[in-house]
Amino acid sequence: MLYRELGRSGIKVSEIGFGAWGIGGDWGAVDEKEAVDALRCAYDQGINLYDTAMVYGGGKSERLIGKAFRNDREKIVITSKIPPKSYRWPVTDDDPIEQTFPADWLVECVETSLKNLGTDYIDVIQLHAWTDAYTDIQGWRETFKKLKEAGKIRGYGVSANDWDPYGATNLAQKGLVDSVQVIYNIFEQRPAEKLLSAALESETGIIVRVPFEEGLLTGTIKPGQTFPEGDWRAQWLADGRLEAAYRRVEGLKVFLDDGVHSLALLALKFCLSNPSVSTVIPGMRTVKHVQMNVEAADGQLLSAETLEKLKEHAFVHGWAYPWSQ
């Protein structure tokens, strides 16, 4: 495993982090022993960053992380997220921050996450939605600074709205947070147009989520796929969307060779090949997922020629998630 700096935060993170939404149960039933085994396997493979959120499984994801690492807390990095008080995603310019992220709500949620995790500090706390209208508002940052002074958090950032590649650019340009989490992958390349370069210049860490486009870029989700009960992708990929995406995924196989032998590996290396990226957090639920994903952190990045050719495979589809429609 290789490691990178999370911007200027002073926190060193593994190139591959553990995306812990799935172990919360929002993608179907979860075997808790299997989830803990996956977390411990990730640790043994050198993964030190575990990304979760207060709302993942109503706190289940956080509790499993706490259970898995109760004796190794100082050796890992935990990033979690505070939901809008409205519990409505995405937040927009018309949503007053007093209704989404008031100071007392930020403090309450941090305390809830600390209890779930069984720890006395969170390495990086993030707003679980973002609008540029909040950039110059002082209150939320002042609250986080107080929590940092109190030792409750080490750093803070934001998680950009789903499929919003530009919304956190101004925030990154001004260097007001330690990190920005954003969707970035072979299909969704728009963050590279503005956000990633702004983050690199201001030394803002970039946490990449959805590197597999919710599993599509692994090539394992094919037309006719059935999803387990509770997996929201059954709705998201309906009405011909899966078929349309699969044709594009098949076109990526020309990039496979002895060095990059799978589409999943190609997808992860694409993200890591951008110098602004601190870590990539694919979702993991099993030991098998962990073993497949850690292979990408071998220091072998994609060539400039390959990256240029991959630009032709961007696919801006505009498919909103079920919860944001």
SS3 290: helix
Across-strand partners of 182? 208
Number of Cβ within a 10 Å radius of residue 70 = 11
**Quick one: tokens of 171?**
């925030």
pLDDT of residue 87: 96
For residue 216, which of 192, 191, 241 has the smallest C-alpha distance?
A: 241
User: Residue type at 165?
Assistant: P
| Token pair for 101 | 């992220």
Residues of the chain with pLDDT under 50: none
Gyration radius (Cα) of the chain, Å:
19
Which architecture does CATH list for 3-324?
Alpha-Beta Barrel (3.20)
- Cβ contacts of 278 within 8 Å, gap of 6 or more: 4, 5, 6, 7, 13, 179, 205, 206, 207
Question: pTM to 2 decimals?
Answer: 0.97
Q: Does the annotation mark 3 as catalytic?
A: no
**Residue 22 per-residue DSSP state:** G
For position 30, what pLDDT does the model report? 82
Q: What is the pLDDT of residue 325?
A: 57
Does residue 306 contact residue 234 with C-beta atoms inside 8 Å? no
pLDDT given for residue 228 in this prediction: 85
Q: Which of 3, 43, 50, 56 is catalytic?
A: 56
Strand 49-51 versus strand 77-82 pairing type: parallel
- φ, ψ of residue 33 in degrees (nearest 5): -65, -40
Domain boundaries, the chain: 3-324
Report the candidate in 283, 267, 273 with the shortest Cα–Cα distance to residue 217: 267
pLDDT of residue 197: 98
Phi, psi of 12 (to 5 degrees): -95, 130
Which among 71, 68, 75 has a CA at the least distance from the CA of 49? 75
Return the pLDDT at 276.
Answer: 98
Is residue 48 within 8 A of residue 78, CB to CB? The reply is no
